[in-house]
Amino acid sequence: MQRLFVVILALIGLLMAAPSARSESFSTEELMRATALDEVFTQFGAGIAASARSEEVSRDELFLEHWETTALSVFDADALGDRLARALDGRFSQEEQQALAAFFRSEFGRRMTGLERDIARLPPEAQLTALAAGTALSAKAGAVRSTQLDDLVQLVGAEISVAMVGQSVRALLVAMAVSQQQGEIEVPWPAIDAQVDAMMPGLLADVARTQRAMMAYAYRDLSDTDLGRYIAFLRTEPAQRLYAIAAYAVGRIVADSMAHFGEALSARLHSVNI
């Protein structure tokens, strides 16, 4: 499960990408590119699709094939991204758009987004290497850097991370529940949700540790002053409003999609009498 956490958090724990060079109003499309929200679902479907096999939930090849096909269809990154764009569209005032654009188009903003894009582009094995290095950096961080890392975990994408990791665990529990069923297949959502709730304290701790380590690695070459400057931006009202709206929207999208996934998988398995 650690691999799945890292793949997800590499994208959503560090939510910045190269900003637009255009000077006119900050459109929803530009905003999503500037914050990498256009990539937040890029690996989500693939991670869910791979999870039943990688976590050895079942050795039934037919089940695994149907699981993978259904996951890639339901968690289509483009479709989920379009839904997120609609959720963000029209939610920010002209003044908020200008404040966000001013940061993302600045030299400093471009520098920060470049660092974060590098992390987002790491392949899975490199992400695990980065996590190990970041964990070491996090453990030996001085007082100032340690506080800054804690601040970043709270300010940047923590709620999004928790929502997506929680739904990923929910998917694994779905796999365990239905892989042994035959005939009229039902997903026992109440039991699954009870298990997720019981696991949530541990999940929250895992998410926080992983995010902190990845941030320690991503910003390892920044001075405390520069990182403090970035944190100051993240504390601004426009930035906080952006992440609050995005976190709520992503949470709803992945929860709704997971419910649809359970229904689609059950119907698919029933149709082939698995």
CA-CA distance, 118 to 128, in Å (whole number)? 14
What is the predicted pLDDT for the residue at 1?
Answer: 57
Least confident among 27-36, 99-108, 179-188, 204-213 = 179-188
Cα 128 to chain centroid distance, Å, stands at 16
Listed in sequence order, the residues at least 6 apart from 16 whose beta carbon sits closer than 8 Å to its beta carbon are: 34, 35, 36, 104, 112, 113, 116, 117
Listed in sequence order, the residues at least 6 apart from 213 whose beta carbon sits closer than 8 Å to its beta carbon are: 131, 134, 135, 137, 138
Would the pLDDT of 131 be above 50? yes
Least confident among 14-18, 37-41, 55-59, 208-212 = 14-18
Region 241-246: what's the mean pLDDT? 91
- Residue 182, token pair as written in the block: 């035959």
Q: Are 54 and 175 in contact (CB under 8 A)?
A: no
Listed in sequence order, the residues at least 6 apart from 229 whose beta carbon sits closer than 8 Å to its beta carbon are: 108
Which whole-number Å values give the CA distances from 82 to 67, 75, 131, 214, 249, in the listed order?
Answer: 24, 12, 30, 27, 12
Rg (CA), the chain: 19
pLDDT above 90 as % of the chain = 49
- Residue 265, token pair as written in the block: 């998988």
What is the predicted pLDDT for the residue at 57?
Answer: 86
Angle at 215 (CA atoms; ends 210, 217), nearest 5 degrees: 100
Reported as a pLDDT band with limits 50, 70 and 90, residue 24 is low
Say what the pTM is: 0.82
Would the pLDDT of 80 be above 90? yes
Reported as a pLDDT band with limits 50, 70 and 90, residue 149 is very high
In tens, the pLDDT along 162-174 reads 888 889 899 989 9
Could you say which DSSP state residue 18 is in?
P
First-to-last alpha carbon distance for the chain, in angstroms, is: 26
